[in-house]
Chain A
Amino acid sequence: GAGVSQTPSNKVTEKGKYVELRCDPISGHTALYWYRQSLGQGPEFLIYFQGTGAADDSGLPNDRFFAVRPEGSVSTLKIQRTERGDSAVYLCASSLGFTSYNEQFFGPGTRLTVL
């Protein structure tokens, strides 16, 4: 079956613009995670969903960042008034359940560049 997919693969935007990043998880995976990875760093947790609800959004850096998963499948990460510091690779992962024992399956990421 298909793995986790993310679109777009690359996004270049100007400072102050709004962007949406999409994640299609593996079918049947109830848990979905968003991470951000800066150059030379490991992924940094942003938010995770169990079903349709955000179970933990403690990693979102500020209120410019928001994510939804309205039907418990596809998720969209939304960034308002983008800043140059938002430039990073945004990774999505899904798993069958939310515990640290569950294997997470990662998408290829969206590389966001804010000019």
Chain B
Amino acid sequence: KNEVEQSPQNLTAQEGEFITINCSYSVGISALHWLQQHPGGGIVSLFMLSSGKKKHGRLIATINIQEKHSSLHITASHPRDSAVYICAVGFFGNEKLTFGTGTRLTIIP
């Protein structure tokens, strides 16, 4: 049973659109990571969150500890943003990461 759920599984949008990818988890966590995986490529860490909000360029990540939910936003999306975005969490008492199944994002020019 996967304790990390992501939605949507697939998302296709036009260039320039505002993108939101969601991650929810079942119990308390110590940290949440957002990762990016390009087709045929390796995984790159985007953010680590334990509370609040972080911003890097056009990417924004937020986390709501009470609601056990995090979102990854992309502003002014671009075709090069096309990738799989993966949420991973470390649960209290079990610090290894548990990964979601990923959201496949396709940005059409």
Chain A positions near chain B (C-beta within 8 angstroms): 33, 35, 40-45, 48, 56, 59, 91, 93, 98-101, 103-109
Contacts and interface: CB of A to CB of B under 8 A. Distances in A.
Given A41-B101, A43-B88, A48-B96, 12 more contacts: A40-B102, A42-B100, A42-B101, A42-B102, A43-B43, A59-B96, A99-B90, A100-B33, A100-B95, A101-B31, A106-B43, A108-B42
A57 to B, nearest CB: 11
B64 interface: no
Majority-rule SS of A interface residues: loop
B99 A43 contact: yes
A62 B90 CA distance: 24
A33 to B, nearest CB: 8
Contacts of B43: 43, 91, 93, 106
In the complex, which of the residues B4, B45, B96 has the most CB atoms of chain A within 10 Å of its own CB atom?
B96
B76 interface: no
B42 A107 contact: yes
Given A105-B45, A106-B44, A42 B30 contact: no
A35 B99 CA distance: 10
